[in-house]
Amino acid sequence: MSYRLLVSDVDGTLVDNEKRLAPATIAAVGRLTAAGIRFTIISARPRSGMMPIADALGLDGPMAAFNGGILFHRDGTVDEHHVIEPAVARGALDAARGAPVDIWVFADDLWHSSTDKGVHVEHERIASNQAPIVTTDFTALLDNADKITFVSDEPQVLQDLHALIDAGFAGQATVAQSQTYYLDVTALAANKGAGIEALAAAAGVPLAQVVAIGDQANDLPMLRRAGLAIAMGNAPAPVQAAAAHVTTANDADGVAKAIDTYLLPALEQIK
C-alpha cells in the first residue's frame, strides 16, 4: 500500500513526557514530507497548544484541535468548528457536582480552571501554551464550550463519572480519556474518528492511504479508521491491540522510529 498521509496524536505520542519535540522526531517528519508523504496532527489540545508544534514542523495543511472539534490552518483559517451542545455541557458539570475532580473548560480559545495549582495544571500550561483563568462559575462559558475536562489521579473517580455522563448523554457528546487522569467531554463530532476523516478529505487522500499513530483511548476511533494503525510503546494494551504495529515509547523517539521502520522503507519498495 502506498501511504500518502500520516496523522499523529500529540501528547504521549509526538512529544516526550516533558511536552518537547525531540530533534529526531523533527528530522524524521522532514524525511517523511521530503519523500512525498504528508504529515499533520490531531490532539485534545486547544489551537494555542498546537501552534508551537505546527511552527516547529512547518505544518501548513489542516490540523485538528479538541480531538477534531476545530479543523484549522496555521494562518488561523478555520474549516470546521463544533462545540458541545449547551444542555450537554451543563449536564456534564451537574454530573460532576461533588466529585473529587478539578474542572477545566475551554471556550473561545481560553482555558478556564477551578484551580491554578497541581502538576496537571503545570503540564497543561505547556500543552495549551497559556495560563488558566481561575473560576468556580463556568455558567457563562457553556453555550460555547469546546471541551470540558475532569481531572483526577483516581481512576475509579473518572470511570464512575464517565459512566454517569454516558448514561445521561449517550449519542449527544464524545466522552473519552485523553490521558489516564483526564476525562474529556467534546462535541459529538469532535472525536478522532470523525477528525481523521475530515483531515483525509481535506488532503484529498482516501482513508486507506492514511496512517494514524496514537497512544490513548481517545485515539482508538482514528486507529480503527486508518489504512494503517500504529500504537506507541507507552500505550495501554487495548490501544496496542488495535494497531497493526507498535513502535517505541514517546520518550524513545517512537514516531521517528515508526516513520523510519514502517513508512519510508515501504515507500522505497514501491519505487
The reply to whether 73 and 99 lie within a common domain is no
90 and 180 together in one domain: yes
Which of 187, 220, 249 finishes a domain? 187
CATH number, domain with residue 165: 3.30.1240.10
Question: For residue 179, what pLDDT is reported?
Answer: 87
Q: Are residues 226 and 249 in the same domain?
A: yes
Tell me what pLDDT residue 21 has. 97
User: Within this chain, do residues 148 and 100 fall inside the same structural domain, yes or no?
Assistant: yes
- How many separate domains does the chain show? 2
Q: In this predicted structure, what is the pLDDT of residue 1? A: 63
Q: What is the pLDDT of residues 227-265, one digit of tens each?
A: 999 999 999 999 999 999 999 999 999 999 999 999 998
- Among candidate residues 157, 187, 217, the one where a domain is terminated: 187
Query: Which cell is 29 given?
Result: 517528519
pLDDT at 266: 74
Same domain for 176 and 113, yes or no, is yes
Domain match, 181 and 95 both: yes
Instruction: Identify whether residues 173 and 90 lie together within a single domain.
Output: yes
Beta bridge partners of 212: 7, 229
Give yes or no for a contact between 128 and 45, defined as CB atoms under 8 angstroms apart: yes
Same domain as 246, residue 168: no
Crossing angle between the packed helical segments 119-128 and 47-57, to the nearest 10 degrees: 60
183/94 same-domain check: yes
Q: Tell me which of 187, 206, 234 is where a domain ends.
A: 187
Length of the chain (residues): 271
Statement to judge: residues 114 and 158 lie in one domain = yes
Predicted confidence pLDDT, tens digits, the chain (271 residues): 689 999 999 999 999 999 999 999 999 999 999 999 999 999 999 999 999 999 999 998 999 999 999 999 999 999 999 999 999 999 999 999 999 999 999 999 999 999 999 999 999 999 999 999 999 999 999 999 999 999 999 999 999 999 999 999 989 999 998 889 999 999 999 999 999 999 999 999 999 999 999 999 999 999 999 999 999 999 999 999 999 999 999 999 999 999 999 999 877 665 5
Structural domain containing residue 36? 5-81+190-270
196 and 72 assigned to the same domain: yes
Question: Has this prediction a pTM greater than 0.85?
Answer: yes
Looking at the structure, tell me whether residues 106 and 169 fall in a common domain.
yes
